[in-house]
């Protein structure tokens, strides 16, 4: 992880922290440096990392991990970082597409389906005048164990992209980035559901719902058969671990620290 950026350690994961404007600026600066890996961390990702060593390794190797959910930023504030804010994956897509349009460099998208990618690229071209989409790839179904495809690396690098957005779902997209990012000549971002939302394939939660931390419930209502297990298990686990951290582990560590002084 880029050492000059502030982080908060949550359940053995280092997550960057800052106010909204700071996160936006940090994001643009990190991408401008080139060849960086960037993740957007929500409750689901953080809890998956409790039992997935490959995901943990990918997170440790990432250059920038942004809080992508109200519960993550809330816990950062509870751990003593005032003003901790959220920057969501789809917001980063818009920020960086505007940056790319201004610099004249193309962007790329890998994941989802051809129909979603075509709609996504068309919507973004309309929103960001002058934006060039230089690479679109909807890969076939794959496992989350990757071996480098040298042809794919050559194909991506030949486009000289400003950045490449990955939408394979967590934890597959983070593991793909950990495998491929060291061989690519652009920054790579794992943005998850942003592809479906920004293409219009699924409805994005309203701003006020996101603001109060209800995006998960909005998605659950949209797709209960797929989402109920994810939110029942991982949200509950997050609540349990958060209560344990705030009411037991931190007070105990503080007490023990005081005893040794």
Distance between CA atoms of residues 89 and 210, nearest Å: 13
What is the average pLDDT value for the chain, to the nearest integer? Answer: 91
pLDDT per position as a tens digit, 94-121: 999 999 999 999 999 999 999 999 999 9
Q: Are 13 and 49 in contact (CB under 8 A)?
A: yes
3-state class (DSSP) for residue 149? coil
208-221 pLDDT tens trace: 888 888 887 777 78
Closest listed residue to residue 209, CA positions, set 221, 227, 193, 225: 221
84 to 49, 240, 249: CA distances (angstroms): 22, 22, 22
- Tell me the pTM: 0.90
Show the beta-strand stretches assigned E in 174-241.
187-190
Q: What is the pLDDT of residues 43-71, one digit of tens each?
A: 999 999 999 999 999 999 999 999 999 99
Query: In the numeric block, which tokens belong to residue 29?
Result: 């600066």
Quickly state the pLDDT bin for 173 (edges 50, 70, 90): very high
Residue spans per domain, the chain: 7-214, 217-259
CA distances from 75 to 58, 78, 90, 234 (A): 22, 5, 22, 16
């Amino acid at each position: 992880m880029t050492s000059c950026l502030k982080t908060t350690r949550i359940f053995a994961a280092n997550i960057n922290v800052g106010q909204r404007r700071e996160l936006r600026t940090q994001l643009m600066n990190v991408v401008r440096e080139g060849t960086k890996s960037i993740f957007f961390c929500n409750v689901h990702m953080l809890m998956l990392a409790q039992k997935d060593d490959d995901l943990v390794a990918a997170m440790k190797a990432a250059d920038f991990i942004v809080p992508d959910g109200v519960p993550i930023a809330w816990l950062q504030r509870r751990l003593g970082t005032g003003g901790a804010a959220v920057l969501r994956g789809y917001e980063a897509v818009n920020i960086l597409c505007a940056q790319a349009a201004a610099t004249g460099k193309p962007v790329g998208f890998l994941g989802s389906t051809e129909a979603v990618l075509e709609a996504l690229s068309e919507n973004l071209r309309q929103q960001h005048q002058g934006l060039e989409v230089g690479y679109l790839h909807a890969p076939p179904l794959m496992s989350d164990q990757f071996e480098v495809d040298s042809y794919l690396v050559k194909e991506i690098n030949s486009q000289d992209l400003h950045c490449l957005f990955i939408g394979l779902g967590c934890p597959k997209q983070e593991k793909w980035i950990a495998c491929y990012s060291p061989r690519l000549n652009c920054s790579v971002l794992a943005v998850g559901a942003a592809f479906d939302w920004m293409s219009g394939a699924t409805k994005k939660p309203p701003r006020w719902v996101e603001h109060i931390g209800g995006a998960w419930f909005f998605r659950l209502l949209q797709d209960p058969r797929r989402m109920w297990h994810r939110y029942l298990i991982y949200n509950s686990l997050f609540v349990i671990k958060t209560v344990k951290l705030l009411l037991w582990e931190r007070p105990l560590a503080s007490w023990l620290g005081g005893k040794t002084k």
